Amino acid sequence: MLIKSLVLKKDYLTTVNEKATLEEALKILEESGFRCVPILDDTGTIFRGNIYKMHIYRHKSQGGDMNLPVTYLLKNATKTIKVNSPFFKVFFNLKDLPYISVLDEDNKFYGILTHASLLRMLSDAWNVKHGSYVLTVLSDNSRGNLVKMSKIISKYSNMTSVMTLDAASGELGGNFVRRTLFTLPAGVSDTTMKTIVDKLQKKGYVVAEIEDLQAGLTIMSDENPGVFIDNPQE
C-alpha cells in the first residue's frame, strides 16, 4: 500500500493524552518544537483530534483557563484517512493541514502522513535526481495518444518516469488538454532531446516546455515556444 509506506507510525510520534490540561499540552508542544500534535485516548489507539500551539497561545493571551482539558481546543477531529484509502483522497484532505492522521482497518490510530512525506514521494516520481530533461507535451484526449507519444520517444531514449496532468481547455483550439510529462534518463544528449521534440511536434503534439533537470533551467516554454536556449549563460 502506497500510503502505508509513507506514514510516520505512532510509536515514533509525540502525542498528547486526552486527559492532559492545556498547560501540560503547551509544555509538550514547546519541548518538541512541533506546532501541532495528535490527541489520543488513554489506550493510545483512538484519535481525538489535533492540538495546535497557536490556539493555546491565543487562549492563554486572552486570560483563558490553562487547567481546562486539552480537548477544549481540539481541532481536525474528522480529518483522517484510512491506511488503505485511495491515494487521490490524500490530496483533498491534506491540503490545509500540516499532516493528516491515518487510521488502520479497525479505525485505530496508525500514524500521520505529512506534507514533507508527500512531497518526497512526488519528487521521487518525477525522478529529478536521475533525469536529464522533462518534456511537457500537450495533447487532446484522443484514445491512444499516450501510446503514440511513448513510441516516438522510445525510438531514441528510455523514459525514467511519465506523469499525466489535466489542464484547462483552450490551449488546443478550445479542446480538452492533457499535459504529459516525460522524464528522460541522465545521459541523454541535447541532440537526442531535440530530435525527440522535433518528432513529437511533426506528429502534431505540442511540446509546451522543456526543463533541464541537471542545470535547473527551463530551456523552452509556453512563453518562448519553439525556442531553444543553447547558451543560457550568455
Average pLDDT, the chain: 86
Measuring CA to CA, how many Å separate 31 from each of 17, 38, 59, 112?
A: 16, 15, 19, 20
Q: What is the pLDDT of residues 25-45, one digit of tens each?
A: 999 999 999 999 999 999 999
Does residue 230 carry a pLDDT above 80?
no
With residue 191 as reference, give the H or E element that holds it: helix 190-202
Of 84, 56, 54, 88, the C-alpha closest to 69 is 56
Of the pLDDT bands very low, low, confident and very high (cuts 50, 70, 90), residue 232 is: very low
Separation of alpha carbons 107 and 116, rounded Å: 24
Question: Please, which pLDDT band fits residue 9 given cuts at 50, 70 and 90?
Answer: very high
Enter the DSSP assignment of 142.
Answer: -
20, HSE (Cβ side, Cα atoms, 13 Å):
25
Under the phi-then-psi rule, with left for phi > 0, alpha for psi from -120 to 50, and beta for the rest, what region is 91?
alpha
pLDDT value of position 128? 67
Task: Report which DSSP code applies to 21.
Answer: B
Would you place residue 229 in the very low, low, confident or very high pLDDT band (cuts 50, 70, 90)?
very low
Which CA distances in Å does 68 have to 21, 42, 56, 130? 5, 17, 11, 53
Do the beta carbons of residue 210 and residue 194 sit within 8 Å?
no
Query: CA-CA distance, 164 to 149, in Å (whole number)?
Result: 12
Q: Quick one: 154 exposed, middle or buried, by C-beta within 10 A (0-12, 13-18, 19+)?
A: exposed
Distance CA 164, CA 177 (A): 11
Burial class of residue 30 (count of CB atoms within 10 Å of its CB; 0-12, 13-18, 19+): exposed
If we measure between CA atoms, which residue out of 152, 97, 116, 108 comes closest to residue 8? Answer: 116
75-130 residue pLDDT tens = 999 999 998 887 777 777 787 788 999 999 999 999 999 988 887 777 776 666 77
pLDDT tens-digit series, residues 144-177: 999 999 999 999 999 998 988 765 555 545 556 8
Report the pLDDT value the prediction gives residue 1, as an integer from 0 to 100: 52
| Domains of the chain and CATH, by start | 2-120 (3.10.580.10), 129-220 (3.30.70.260)
Task: Report whether 218 contacts 181 (CB < 8 A).
Answer: no
Environment class of 106 (CB within 10 Å of its CB; exposed 0-12, middle 13-18, buried 19+)? exposed
Q: Which residue has the higher pLDDT, 55 or 225?
A: 55
**pTM, entire model:** 0.66
